[in-house]
Amino acid sequence: MIKRTLYFGNRAYLSLENRQMVISKFDDDNKPVKVTRPIEDIGVVVIDCPMVTITSGLMEALLENNCAVITCDKSHMPVGLMLPLYGNSTQNERFRDQLDASLPLKKQLWQQTVSQKIANQSAILKHIGIECGNMMAWSRSVKSGDIDNLEGRAAAYYWRNIFPDYPDFTRGREGAPPNALLNYGYAILRAVVARALVSSGMLPTLGIHHHNRYNAYCLADDIMEPYRPYVDELVLDMLKSGYNDFLDKEAKARLLSVPTLDVVIGGRRRPLMIAVTETTASLYKCFSGECRKISYPER
């Protein structure tokens, strides 16, 4: 079942009652109202207001239900992510399989990841009428560990062409529009992937390629790579539909749909959140020796 993403951008008091999230807030006429949501239906919670209060009992219930809780800073950008410590009944065994994964296996998994990411980027360019023969060739030529850095070469070409209306666009966290839209969408995607990794019994910190000592979600950053083009396509569609290229209320509402985007994985159409769980389940099978290929979406 697809889980709901709840966003709180105004003052609210969030509590727990009878396994329901109780949302106490004020309506447009400044009258107090209460709304309830079943805990089991919630997958991601985004808190984007310093006047939101959440009780410890509700936080415990959300984490027990494997919900990802995102907090935002004063610029309304995601700055924190809270996940449960344990998300699978065979946690210890799965941790050991992940920790024991050999370097050659991790390099092969990164090869698959980069190859599919470039293939999905290529599909986006093709869809908007940009020549992508070189991207398709690079996708087929990725070696174990991507020792030729084809990911970087593809990224340079991709970002130079992905936004025709922004000829001088440079991808960067602090860059000019529409970077803020991309950053927000990626943050939601990262939370969805990290949540799925915990649910599959793996440590989101221990990556197959990323290894920044200050990054608590290296594996999530690895596994989300082939999914990034879906966020890029969403941002493209938003700009074509007349959305502003900066992060306003309407843009955030649209970007919160990332978990429900349609993707094709294993020949079947699935919501992105469901597809990610298939990906993380297949990753664990690679760590345990049951298979050698990660199941990724194909654009």
CA distance 234 to 208: 27
Whose tokens are 């799925």? That residue is 196
The Cα–Cα gap between 182 and 184 comes to 5
d(CA 37, CA 96): 37
Containing 267, the helix (H) or strand (E) segment is none
| 60 annotated ligand binder | no
Strands lying side by side in the sheet with 4-8: 4-8, 42-47, 68-72, 78-82
40 assigned binding-site residue: no
Alpha-carbon dihedral angle through residues 183, 235, 71, 191, given to the nearest 10 degrees = -80
- Tell me if 210 is assigned to a ligand binding site: yes
Closest C-alpha to 77, from 43, 54, 48, 101: 48
Which residues are part of a known binding site for Mn(2+)?
151, 210, 225
| Residue positions forming the annotated binding site | 151, 210, 225
